[in-house]
A and B are shown apart, each in its own frame.
Chain A
Amino acid sequence: MDAIIIQILNGVDKGAAYALIALGLTLVFGTLGIVNFAHGALFMLGAFCAVTFNKIMTLSVKIKDESVTLFDAYKEEPYLKIWFGETGEALIDYAVPLSILFAIPIMILVGYVMERGLIRHFYRRPHADQILVTFGLAIVLQELIKASFGANPIPQAAPAILAGSANVGSWIGLGDTLVYPWWRLIYLGFSGLIIFSVFAFLQFTTYGMVVRAGMRDRETVGLLGINIERRFTIVFALAAVVAGVAGVMYTPILPPDYHMGMDFLVLSFVVVVVGGMGSLGGAVAAGFLLGIVQSFASMNEVKQILPGVDQIIIYLVAVVILLTRPRGLMGRAGVMEE
């Protein structure tokens, strides 16, 4: 029983990560009609906002390291610790959650510049051109990060109080053996909050209503005197923020490196296609579905019957769903069908 519950929990947790990235991808595709292969790079940029913020928080004075005798080496003492003592240490400890505040304005700026500077020139170009230019942009961004931060993963610690595991078993009366990392549970809750916020924004605000109308019929909205292009720019920035904060919060789970965006990108596209191109609800549903399926396929009992199935299960499910529902789980008619 424990094994089943932990796989469900792991699947939901993975699914939340997939859904969060796929949500931004779908938002951009649904509104702007752009297939944005640089979306994974935005996730990676968010993660490196956390790395940068951590570096700022740990700016240090260099002190000669007397324990190294063979050459001149230096150790570092953070200014925050020198100036504020325990409060400074606590601020450094909470660097990852605090870096969300740092990442949001940066991601808005990145999204705005990307859309105004490059993406808008490709609105009326074929999808193949969009894929090429955004893929190229992703490579440029990741090489810039590699040149600045190196190629090795840079670990980011969760706050010490959240570093261990939660005794999930005892919460549901199943004993002490069922544990799950605190930070992953927090990530799960955070993903839920972001997904809910995006839906609420689109569903319950006038701004969101105009964007949804623009998604359906851009020309008519324009004829009503609404500057839909400007709103779409803001939607692109919003998608960048969603990807960015997802990246920030993912850093204690996976030490960020320059390539992490690409690792997620392919899976996220499968999620978007399975969910239905342009369908926000579909992206979220498909994210969770594929996360859970992948988690169960990784169980040893399953792999004994079907060796290697964990590597291909997501694509198998995608094939089955697309054969039975060619528009994906919640795809709309007419999207990418011209």
Chain B
Amino acid sequence: MSQMKPVLEMQDLSVTLPSGLDRTHAVEDVSLTIRRGEILCVVGESGSGKSVTASVVMGLLPRNSLNVAKGTVMLEGEDITSAPEQRMDQLRGNRMAMIFQEPLTALNPVMALGRQIAEVLVLHKPGLGKAAIRSRVLELMADVHLPAPEEMYHRYPHQISGGQRQRVMIAMALAMEPALIIADEPTTALDVTTQAQILKLFRELLTKHDSAVMLITHDFGVVAEIADQVLVMRRGKLVESGTAQDVLQSPRHDYTKELIAAVPRLRYLPQLAEREPVLKAENVSLTYRQSSWLGKTTEVHAVQDVSFTLAPGETLGIVGESGSGKSTLARMVVGFEKPDRGRILFEGQDMPGLTPARLRQMRHRIQMIFQDPYSSLNPRRRVGQSMIEGPVRMGKSNAEAHRCACELLELVGLQPSAVDRFPHEFSGGQRQRICIARALALEPDVIVADEAVSALDVTVQAQVLDLFEKLRTELGFAMLFITHDLRVASNICNRVAVMSKGRIVEQGELKRVFENPENEYTRKLLAAMPGVSEM
């Protein structure tokens, strides 16, 4: 396909950063070419300049802080490096479109979904009648496999799932059949099956609409799955580029090798010997009821009839798609929600049945680590303050708690001096280490980790997983590890429970479940893992 004419050509692009940062350029001397029918994957960790590169093409660099210093960008032969805003408004959404990373926040929350897609047509095909626009929008919604388009048309973003929102974004991007689609980490926040469907969709659309795709990702699993060409970036510079096959099979640069090695591979930990469980869930169910406008009540069966046991020192993985009830289950285990039916036994005591006073005494023994290390630490409190608050409440002296905090920080691989610093001074991976140390400060018997590594870059993810493993052998806590990523689960769990639509459909030893899945849904999840077969 390389004989086809290029859709996008970028020559020696440099973008300057405001002064006073650790480097002078966000992007330095980057050149790339994408042809029709091709998917170019731009790979790199956060801060590598890959998103800035995409913003330059779209002409959406944040005003006043980043500036194009040199280089040219040609879209279908037209130099758009310094095209006037009006021309860019004509091209954006029309000849080039962008799909953003955050499906949860990238849609206008107060505009109906159908209207958001229709807007692209209103802007770029002014002559089109209302009925024609509507039927085209419905067609697009069907193209991206959104269920019940007629009904979906009038719904709002908060009423649909993350995966569905991402499909709405894609429908918007496809509306004008643009020559170039830029997708910035379109699948990172999505669960495996949705991710696989969306990647398949890209391929399908590429052939159908004869366009080109620039896909930004940090996951070499995704690259192996879909890329024709690969470009690796690090700290704003181009490290390596070539065909996907060449780069994956014989990476020349050390950094590329590191990235490829960091993709979690399947690895099976042994099942532990049978022991008296520390945590036991018996037929737990929770139904959310929501009443709307005219008092109509809808019921969501978030968790239904779930049972599991967790032995001391063991890690049980809970895997499943978004909306499968994993997080609700976690919230019940730590006591944020009460189950409608069933019991959650901690050392033989029914937790939801305890008096508030007794519960307060137990609570510290089950600790939670959250997905987003950026928002789960109080930004105005020093790390030390966040860490000693719990232990001091549980009766430790200030000095003692402080000493423990320093030790724990060292244990998770940070400097003890971190106690006096604020969360914003740390990177995402470091913050997640702080969150782990904070949870450990209460000397818990059980840790519930809800998507604790999902927001991290692959290399950082690997480090944090290693840390979990090390801490578990040293401290011996049991862990409920919730994740949508089966590759991650295989690296840390002894046993795994697969959840779908609020129920556990299969559970057992990891190796058995992964190699001989008994349930249809488990097979589907396993088949959807990106890049496992190719790498």
Partners in one complex: no
Residues of B at the A interface (CB closer than 8 Å) are none
Residues of A at the B interface (CB closer than 8 Å) are none
